[in-house]
Amino acid sequence: MQRRLRREYDETRAIDFFPADAALEAESAWQDLAHRIEDLLSPGEPRAAQVPVKRLDPAKYRGRTWATRRQLWVDRVASAWLIRRFIDPEARFNWLAKPADCPKSALGFDLEPIRK
């Protein structure tokens, strides 16, 4: 249903020859709705952040325990494989029930920052 609504929204915008503040408000409202739907369908999933990625020294990340959420999604399994293959061949993994369970000594991946 979300795809159909997005298609109808895009079709309406395509014939809107006088976009103004209302178009910006509509786009903002659409994004809010899409995020709420995402939150309902995939609770606890992280969202992409628009920040630069700093290059790190892989040697500092060897022999560690890594932690992520328990639900096995392809990105988590692939990340674990990449960690073992390219960063830490001796990596150990904790599959957490919730991000707040992440031990301080573990390196978390695919986790939202824990808010207190």
Tell me the per-residue pLDDT of 75-103, one tens digit each, with 9 for 90 and over: 889 999 999 999 999 999 999 988 888 89
Tell me the per-residue pLDDT of 46-77, one tens digit each, with 9 for 90 and over: 777 778 888 888 889 999 999 998 888 888 89
Tell me how far CA of residue 69 lies from CA of 37, 42, 106, in angstroms: 21, 13, 13
* pLDDT number for residue 19: 66
Cα 92 from chain centroid (whole Å): 22
Q: Which residue has the tokens 């103004």?
A: 20
The β-bridge relationship of strands 92-96 and 107-108 is unpaired
Integer Cα distance of 73 and 27 in angstroms: 30
Helix (H, G, I), strand (E, B) or coil at 69: strand
For the question of whether the overall pTM of this predicted structure is more than 0.85, the answer is no
Domain ranges of the chain: 2-41, 58-108
